[in-house]
Chains A and B, each alone.
Chain A
Amino acid sequence: MGQHSMRTAVITLLGVLGIAASPGLAQQSQQPAGQNKVRQITGLTGVKANAKGTLTIESDNLLFANSKTKVSVPIHSVEDVVTDNDSQRVFRGTFGTLTMFAPYGGGRFLSLFRSKLDTLTIQYRDSDGALHGAIFTMAVGKADPLKKELVAQGARTTIPVQQDSGSPDTKPDAAKEKKP
């Protein structure tokens, strides 16, 4: 009886983990080329914090768009572009908070499951000369190509993009820029 309940608990846990992980994979595989699914952490005027959307480069503008808002930043006004990497909980939001109250340290155990992500930070000035900043998070390996494209189109950066070694085996993490 005890073994049966243990087996049920393990199967349930694996099921939950599988369901939680699968939408992210599906989203990544269905993502069209040139569009980056991002989360805007803070900074863009008129966009709520932690809003999801897509980040694209369209006719000299960096465009963040979702179902509610569309914000564009002229690339020539971008004064700094910096990429970095971070990680976040797989189980986050309301469900993630509720897991903290799970018995027998279940919430703590689930906190160990984390997903890696890239961050893209930009600084730009508006028409009045006022300095703005914006932070985006996106899937691993997406930030560096976006930064390269921005720099190629006239954005400035304090940390130059590292030249590709040309090796196809280079991992995205290893290609991260290094601060001087």
Chain B
Amino acid sequence: MKRTFYASAAILLLSAGLMPVQLRAQTGPPKVRKASAIQVVMIQSDEIKLPAEFQISLYENLIQRLQKQGGFEHVYRDGDHNADAVADLIVLHGTVRGFKKGSEMARNVTTVAGKTSIDIHCQFTDKDGKSALEQDLNGKVRFFGGNLRATLDFAKKAAKLAHDNFVASPAS
């Protein structure tokens, strides 16, 4: 009887000791692969009608932010042949899921109205198209600046996400 009691107590203590480790493992950042280079594919907006200047601004700002943030040896553009030779390449695909064009004048005059926002689904894949990470990000401008500033806001967030998850040595 005593032996059974000690055995159950030991099991209980052991499981209690292991539980926090398991919880930590579940809530921690997902394990993702590291990459030396990233390729940015042109932002797609098949379902949502996005003005051309927003589409180009999203793409160009994203490339600029990734280059500025550092961490990747190369940031390749859509269709760049040089990316074919890179083994550990990560490809960033963006699809517009929502867009609301606000008004700079309304923002300046009222402060509370006229917000511009863009919702984009980001998917990071390897060269073979296998998904490595997916996340929805948004870019917005609430107070100062033109509507295109929303694209810069998105670019900052996307570049940070890429940097945090795929750069081998985050200290840069």
Residues in chain A within 8 A of chain B (CB atoms): 41-43, 80, 82, 84, 86-89, 97, 100, 107-108, 111-112, 114, 119, 121, 123, 125, 128-135, 179
The answer to whether A42 and B108 touch across the interface, beta carbons within 8 angstroms, is no
The secondary-structure label for the interface of chain A is: strand
Using Cβ atoms and an 8 Å threshold, which residues of chain A touch B52?
80, 82, 84, 121
- The interface-forming segment of B27-35, B77-85, B122-130, B157-165 is B77-85
Output the least CB separation between A137 and chain B (Å).
Answer: 9
Some 8 contacts from A to B, beta carbons below 8 A apart, are: A42-B61, A82-B52, A89-B104, A97-B144, A112-B109, A121-B52, A125-B79, A135-B53
The answer to whether A135 touches B105 (Cβ under 8 A) is no
Whether B105 lies near A43 (C-beta < 8 A) is no
The residues in B between 59 and 84 inclusive whose CB is less than 8 angstroms from any CB of A are 59-61, 64, 76-82
Which are the 6 A-B pairs with shortest beta-carbon distances?
A133-B56, A111-B108, A130-B77, A130-B80, A82-B52, A131-B78
- In this assembly, does B132 line the interface, its C-beta being within 8 Å of a C-beta of chain A? no
Name the CB-closest residue of A to B143. Answer: A100
Known A-B contacts A41-B57, A84-B53, A88-B146; A112 and B105 likewise in contact (beta carbons under 8 Å): yes
- Contact among A80, A100, A121, A128 with B81 in the assembled complex (CB-CB below 8 Å): A128
How many B residues touch A, CB cutoff 8 Å?
Answer: 26
| In the complex with contacts A42-B61, A108-B109, A111-B108, A130-B56 CB distance below 8 A | no
Say whether, besides A41-B148, A80-B52, A84-B51, A129 and B79 are in contact (CB < 8 Å). yes
Which of chain B's residues have a CB closer than 8 A to the CB of A128? Answer: 80-82
B53 contacts which of A41, A97, A100, A132 (Cβ < 8 Å)?
A41
A127: nearest chain-B partner, CB-CB: B81
**Residue with the greatest number of chain B CB neighbours at <10 A, chosen from A112, A130, A134:** A130
Given contact pairs A41-B148, A42-B64, A133-B55, a sample of 12 additional A-B residue pairs in the complex whose CB atoms are under 8 Å apart: A42-B61, A107-B108, A111-B105, A121-B56, A125-B79, A128-B82, A129-B80, A131-B42, A131-B78, A133-B59, A134-B60, A179-B49
The reply to whether B60 and A43 form a contact with Cβ atoms under 8 Å apart is: yes
CB of A130 within 8 A of CB of B76, answer yes
Q: Give complex CA distance A97, B108 in Å.
A: 11
Are the CB atoms of A130 and B78 closer together than 8 Å?
Answer: yes
The CA-CA distance from A86 to B104 in the complex, in Å, is 11
Q: A133 contacts B60, CB within 8 Å?
A: yes
Which residue in chain B gives the minimum CB-CB distance to A108?
Answer: B109
> Are A42 and B80 closer than 8 Å at their CB atoms?
no
Residue of A nearest to B107 (CB): A111
Chain B residue numbers with a CB within 8 Å of A112 are: 105, 109
Q: Nearest-CB distance from A161 to chain B (Å)?
A: 14
Which of the residues A43, A97, A111 comes within 8 Å of B56, measured between beta carbons?
A: A43
A107 to B52 CA separation, bound complex (whole angstroms): 31
Question: Closest residue of chain A to B146, judged by CB?
Answer: A88
